[in-house]
Structures are given as structure tokens and as C-alpha cells.
């Protein structure tokens, strides 16, 4: 893990890991609420799933994303892709649920404020993803340059 990624990864990772652990023991009402929100937004994926099964899937997914962010051996591109996907699914739910936005479809209603703020997860994920990709590309270019220098001693 690059030292500059540590604050971002620890803050987001700890938050998401804690959220996932909290959902492991979701009661029936919570499971139904979570499932209902996901099934109304992404019916093809979740409509047929049982609420308890969905709550467990969500809990394990959040635990996996949080752990990937906290584990220093997970590359920034992988952690960033996981965080971007997770955040994008939440933002998608926000945008597709009419009661979460005002009439303009963008600004949050009082019901949507809690989910609208998840746009920061997408930004954090994209930051890690792009920095990881740029770092990997830079390393590759440097490696090619060293090989060229070894083959062509005139430079």
C-alpha cells in the first residue's frame, strides 16, 4: 500500500467493514428493508432472493470490500475497483428511487440524504483505481526503459 493511500483506505475500509459486521445479525425487519430497497432498484438481480439471504450477501460483500481496503497487500487498483463498484451501486439506488431525490432527480430529499452522501465512496474508489493504474503504467514504462538501456549502451 502506498503511504498516501493509507488515510483514504483506512477511513473507508473501517467504515464499510463495520457496516458489514453490523448487518450480519440483521433482524427480519431490517433484512426486508434492505432487500426491498435493492430489489426495487435492481430487480433482475435481487427480486427473487429471500430477504435474509440478501442481508447476508450484503453483509459479506461489505466485509469483503472493507477488508480489501484495509489489507495493505491488496493493490490499489483492486481495492479501488471494489470500492467504486460498491459506491456506484449505492448511488444507482439513490438516483433510481424517486423518493430519495427532489423533483429535479439529483438533489437529495430528506429521505435520500443518508444515501446521497455515498457519492464520496465512488470518488475515493476512482482515486485509488486511477492512482493504481497510473502507478502500474509508470512502473512498466520505467522497466522498459531500463531494458532498452541494457540493450543499447550508447544512451
- pLDDT tens digit sequence for 76-90: 999 999 999 999 999
Measured between alpha carbons, how far is 10 from 1 in angstroms, rounded to an integer? 11
Among 22, 97, 95, which Cα is nearest to 55's?
Answer: 22
CB atoms within 10 A of CB 17: 19
More confident residue, 135 or 31: 31
Among 44, 87, 48, which Cα is nearest to 65's?
Answer: 87
Measured between alpha carbons, how far is 146 from 65 in angstroms, rounded to an integer? 36
CB atoms within 10 A of CB 63: 18
Average pLDDT value for the chain: 89
pLDDT of residue 138: 60
Sequence-separated (6 or more) residues with CB below 8 Å from residue 73: 1
pLDDT of residue 137: 58
Q: What is the pTM of this model?
A: 0.81
Measured between alpha carbons, how far is 18 from 14 in angstroms, rounded to an integer? 6
CB atoms within 10 A of CB 114: 11
| pLDDT tens, residue by residue, 76-134 | 999 999 999 999 999 999 999 888 999 998 999 999 998 888 899 999 999 999 998 98
Q: How would you class 107 by CB atoms within 10 Å of its CB: exposed for 0-12, middle for 13-18, buried for 19 or more? A: exposed
Sequence-separated (6 or more) residues with CB below 8 Å from residue 68: 13, 74, 78, 79, 82
Once rounded to an integer, what is the mean pLDDT over residues 29-43? 93
How many domains would you assign to the chain?
Answer: 1
- Span of 28-37, 47-56, 137-146 with lowest mean pLDDT: 137-146
Structural domain harbouring 147: 3-151
Measured between alpha carbons, how far is 8 from 72 in angstroms, rounded to an integer? 12
More confident residue, 147 or 88: 88
Residue 124 grid cell: 475515493
Amino acid at each position: 500500500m502506498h503511504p498516501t493511500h493509507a488515510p483514504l483506505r483506512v477511513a473507508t475500509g473501517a467504515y464499510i467493514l463495520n457496516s458489514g459486521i453490523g448487518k450480519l445479525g440483521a433482524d427480519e425487519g431490517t433484512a426486508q428493508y434492505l432487500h426491498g430497497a435493492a430489489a426495487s432498484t435492481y430487480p433482475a438481480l435481487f427480486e427473487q432472493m429471500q430477504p435474509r439471504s440478501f442481508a447476508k450477501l450484503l453483509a459479506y460483500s461489505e466485509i469483503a470490500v472493507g477488508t480489501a481496503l484495509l489489507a495493505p497487500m491488496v493493490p490499489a487498483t483492486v481495492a479501488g475497483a471494489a470500492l467504486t463498484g460498491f459506491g456506484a451501486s449505492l448511488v444507482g439506488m439513490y438516483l433510481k428511487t424517486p423518493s430519495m431525490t427532489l423533483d429535479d432527480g439529483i438533489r437529495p430529499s430528506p429521505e435520500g440524504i443518508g444515501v446521497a452522501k455515498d457519492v464520496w465512496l465512488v470518488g475515493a474508489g476512482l482515486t485509488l483505481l486511477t492512482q493504481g493504474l497510473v502507478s502500474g503504467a509508470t512502473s512498466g514504462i520505467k522497466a522498459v526503459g531500463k531494458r532498452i538501456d541494457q540493450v543499447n549502451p550508447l544512451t
